[in-house]
């Protein structure tokens, strides 16, 4: 039981709390943004992707998501809907935060558990990018051939500009995504840096103690005092 409980490692605990706060913040702000410009909408339509929903800009006189789905139908693309992965975002974040804080107080000496938690923080943003690009590919390659305007298959970019005929979209990551990346960096770098600094101090202390211990007073004849 002594290997499970004990005084928490301060560097890990600090990193865990900061990373958990950053990750929790990602639940309340957008992770990704798409701005779609079409002849009918020269000012563009905006869609924000949260971890669990899609939302328009809120600044238009019309519903951005509904209008985007209307354009998608016009070119034969499927309607934008919440996918199963998005339903798991909030439970996944809560579970990771709970696991992080638990490992900070229980079994914190088990480095493999800390490594597993750190991996979980990196999986969140990386999976988001991979899954989003997969769905963008899927949307661009399951086109309705009977649509009024047949653009053919194409792959919208998860980051950057995508142009198809008169339509073009600008996509990029938003605050929530960068909060997830920051959380992963904090929980990775802070404990490792603190351990490296502590190890360096201990080596220096040991090196300075060895000469002092070896310096014994001797008499003129060479005998010990």
**Assigned domain for 215 exists:** no
The three-state secondary structure class of 35 is: strand
pLDDT tens-digit map of 86-144: 999 999 999 999 999 888 877 556 778 889 999 999 999 999 999 999 999 999 999 88
**Assigned domain for 155 exists:** yes
* Alpha-carbon span 49 to 36, nearest angstrom: 14
**Assigned domain for 210 exists:** no
**Assigned domain for 166 exists:** yes
* Number of CB atoms found within 10 A of residue 142's CB: 11
CATH number of the domain enclosing 19: 1.20.140
Q: H or E segment at 169?
A: strand 167-173
Q: Extract the tokens encoding 109.
A: 């000496």
Range of the domain at 18: 10-199
Q: What is the mean pLDDT of the chain?
A: 86
**Assigned domain for 2 exists:** no
Q: How many domains does the structure of the chain reveal?
A: 1
**Assigned domain for 220 exists:** no
Q: Kindly indicate the confidence band of residue 215, based on its pLDDT and cuts at 50, 70 and 90.
A: low
pLDDT tens-digit map of 16-42: 999 999 999 999 999 999 998 888 888
Q: Quick one: pLDDT at residue 225?
A: 46
Cα 115 to chain center, whole Å? 16
* Number of CB atoms found within 10 A of residue 95's CB: 12
User: Residue 172 — φ and ψ, nearest 5°?
Assistant: -170, 165
**Assigned domain for 209 exists:** no
**Assigned domain for 221 exists:** no
Ranking 59-73, 90-104, 160-174 by mean pLDDT, the lowest is: 59-73
> Percentage of the chain with pLDDT > 90?
48
């Amino acid at each position: 039981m002594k290997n499970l409980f004990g005084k928490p490692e301060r560097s890990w605990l600090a990193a865990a709390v900061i990373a958990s706060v950053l990750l929790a913040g990602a639940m309340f702000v957008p992770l990704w943004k798409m701005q779609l410009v079409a002849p009918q909408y020269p000012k563009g339509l905006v869609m924000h992707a949260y971890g669990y929903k899609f939302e328009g800009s809120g600044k238009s006189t019309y519903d951005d998501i509904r209008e985007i789905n209307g354009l998608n139908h016009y070119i034969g693309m499927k309607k934008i809907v919440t996918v199963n992965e998005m339903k798991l975002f909030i439970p996944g974040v809560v579970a990771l935060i709970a696991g992080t804080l638990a490992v900070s107080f229980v079994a914190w000496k088990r480095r493999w558990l800390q490594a597993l938690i750190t991996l979980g923080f990196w999986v969140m943003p990386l999976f988001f990018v991979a899954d989003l690009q997969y769905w963008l590919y899927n949307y661009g390659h399951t086109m309705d051939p009977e649509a009024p305007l047949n653009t053919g298959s194409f792959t919208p970019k998860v980051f950057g500009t995508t142009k198809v005929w008169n339509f073009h979209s600008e996509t990029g990551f938003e605050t929530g995504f960068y909060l997830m990346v920051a959380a992963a960096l904090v929980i990775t770098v802070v404990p490792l840096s603190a351990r490296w600094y502590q190890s360096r101090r201990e080596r220096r202390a040991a090196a300075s103690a060895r000469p002092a211990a070896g310096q014994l007073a001797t008499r003129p004849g060479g005998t010990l005092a």
